[in-house]
Amino acid sequence: MAKEKQLIHDLTVGSVPGTLLRFALPLFLSGLLQMVYNMVDMVVVGRFVGTDGLSAVAIGGEVLQLITFVAMGFSNAGQILISRYVGENRYDKVGEMVGTLFTLLMTIAVVIMVIFLCTYRGIINWLNTPAEIWEYTRQYSVTCVFGCVFIYGYNLVSAILRGMGDSKHPFIFIAMAAIINMVLDVLFVGPMHMGPMGAALATVIGQAVSFLFAVRLLYRNRENIHFDFAPASFSIRKDAIAPLISLGIPMVIQSAAITFSMLFVNSYINTYGTTAVAVTGVARKLETMIGVVSQAISSAGGAMIAQALGAGKIRRVPRVVGHALWIVAIPAGIFALVTGTHPEWLFGLFSTDPEVLDMAVIYVPVAMVQYLGATLRPASFALINGSGNSRLNLTVAILDGIICRIGLALLLGVALQWGITGFWYGNALSGLVPFLIGGSYLLSGAWKKRASAPQA
């Protein structure tokens, strides 16, 4: 763990762009593999099963997001808090946070899995799933939900490692899962003709193997994370659960609001038929290409800001925000150029259906707005999350996830009768809200009050 300890040091005193890129690179590669991991299901099913299977996986993927937003919220909160404790040299608090995070998230995973298995029919119907793909959607969704424990487990282990400055091993684990998923996808959906259920089963197996190896690494390095894995150490500590809940709940609400609002918008889109569902599903996957860069920079920037504030190094914070903006802008510009000039090639990776490719051209201007939001958001989230401002996080959640996304979609899609393009634009424009709020927060200087006393 010597390299990880050096990176912890660099997060507070090293060159800002160099450290940001160094920490973000494994996160980006992890996100890239996660994107490939998720896209493989659609590519393989789209090729072997056709548009109906592709549409079912698209809706099933939305359902899967519905059961994982809690993991994302609390894991991100745990990572920020661990980074903060490391910056303050309070390693005893790191161990308490690890045990609390484990017990809390794994318990929630089991509860959510049971609830979903009892209510999935209503959820699939609520999404206005076309009748011809209902059974495919059920197979994919129900199979994926059995991997809920592994998804939550991977997220919490990754949060612990990244909070300690280790972004390399999460990449290795997701690479392992991606390779297993790709091989089993082709086997289950192709020769074994298992359809969307086979794709989901491949995903679950990949997640399980990845999680088990991740836990093994934590155990082998238990001294470095200050957690002994004794049964008593998994108890929820009051001193750990309070800040985790305080910061995690707004992050969970933010993830939930965005997830539910997107499901709400997509429930309208799904009424336009399987072609519209397929195009929207493919578009979501393509947006994740720039999204992985955004998420990597947001996570790395948040860790750097948390440790900088913990160490009382206020001047580093605006520099992290500024560098985060230009780093994301470069790949976003490349993606915008490729999407604008060759949309049929990108969508053609998933489907050769002429109707899907024709509708894809209509989506190109919407994609440009999505890329703009993806460029501007990471720096804002890095500042808000890194400073631990739970109230501001909640404000972003309500405005971005609920008021703007649903409001704009209904205004443009229903009131102004723009049809499916109105729902697309409503979702894309709401993505600019975090930048407006985060930019105002940066200029106000209010985040400076969250810094600890400077350390020698």
Give the pair of three-digit tokens for residue 70: 């809690």
CA distance 258 to 268: 16
What is the Cα gyration radius of the chain?
A: 21
Structural contact between residues 253 and 396, judged by C-beta atoms closer than 8 angstroms:
no
**Nearest in space to 13 (alpha carbons), one of 165, 167, 169, 226:** 165
Using one digit for the tens of pLDDT, what is the confidence trace for 391-404? 787 788 788 777 88
Q: Which residue has the tokens 């704009």?
A: 408
DSSP 8-state assignment for residue 401: I
164: Cα separation from own chain's centroid: 20
Q: What is the Cβ-side half-sphere exposure of residue 301, based on CA atoms within 13 angstroms?
A: 28
Distances (CA, A) of 347 to 59, 245, 353: 17, 41, 10
Give the pair of three-digit tokens for residue 295: 């998420």
Q: For residue 34, which amino acid is it?
A: Q
Using one digit for the tens of pLDDT, what is the confidence trace for 238-256? 888 888 888 788 778 777 7
**Long-range Cβ contacts of 442-449 (<8 Å, 24+ apart):** 442/318, 442/321, 442/380, 442/383, 447/309, 447/317, 447/383, 447/387, 447/389, 448/314, 448/317
If one counts every other C-beta atom within 10 angstroms of the C-beta of residue 442, the result is: 19
**Long-range Cβ contacts of 20-23 (<8 Å, 24+ apart):** 20/297, 20/300, 20/301, 20/304, 20/320, 20/323, 20/324, 20/327, 21/327, 23/165, 23/167, 23/300, 23/303, 23/304
Structural contact between residues 48 and 190, judged by C-beta atoms closer than 8 angstroms:
yes
Using one digit for the tens of pLDDT, what is the confidence trace for 321-380? 888 888 888 888 888 888 888 887 877 777 777 888 888 888 889 888 988 988 888 888
**Nearest in space to 166 (alpha carbons), one of 174, 175, 157:** 157
Give the lowest-confidence range in 114-128, 190-204, 284-298: 284-298
Q: What is the dihedral of CA 413, 419, 420, 422, to 10 degrees?
A: -40
Q: What is the pLDDT of residue 452?
A: 61
Q: What is the pLDDT of residue 14?
A: 52
Residue 127 clears pLDDT 60, i.e. is over it: yes
Q: What is the dihedral of CA 93, 101, 377, 319, to 10 degrees?
A: 20
Give the pair of three-digit tokens for residue 342: 């060759």
pTM: 0.65
Provide the residue ranges of all domains of the chain, joining segments of one domain with +.
Answer: 22-448
**Nearest in space to 335 (alpha carbons), one of 363, 359, 370:** 370
Q: Is 49 left (phi over 0), alpha (psi -120 to 50) or beta?
A: alpha
Give the pair of three-digit tokens for residue 362: 């209509």
**Nearest in space to 38 (alpha carbons), one of 235, 178, 230:** 178
Q: What is the Cβ-side half-sphere exposure of residue 228, based on CA atoms within 13 angstroms?
A: 6
Angle between helices 354-386 and 433-444 (to 10 degrees): 20
Q: What average pLDDT does the segment 107-112 reach?
A: 90
Q: For residue 220, which amino acid is it?
A: R
Q: Is 455 left (phi over 0), alpha (psi -120 to 50) or beta?
A: beta
CA distance 200 to 218: 27
Using one digit for the tens of pLDDT, what is the confidence trace for 208-225? 998 899 888 888 888 877
**Nearest in space to 105 (alpha carbons), one of 145, 155, 34, 61:** 155
pLDDT confidence tier of residue 68, bands split at 50, 70 and 90: confident
> Among residues of the chain, what percentage have pLDDT more than 70?
90
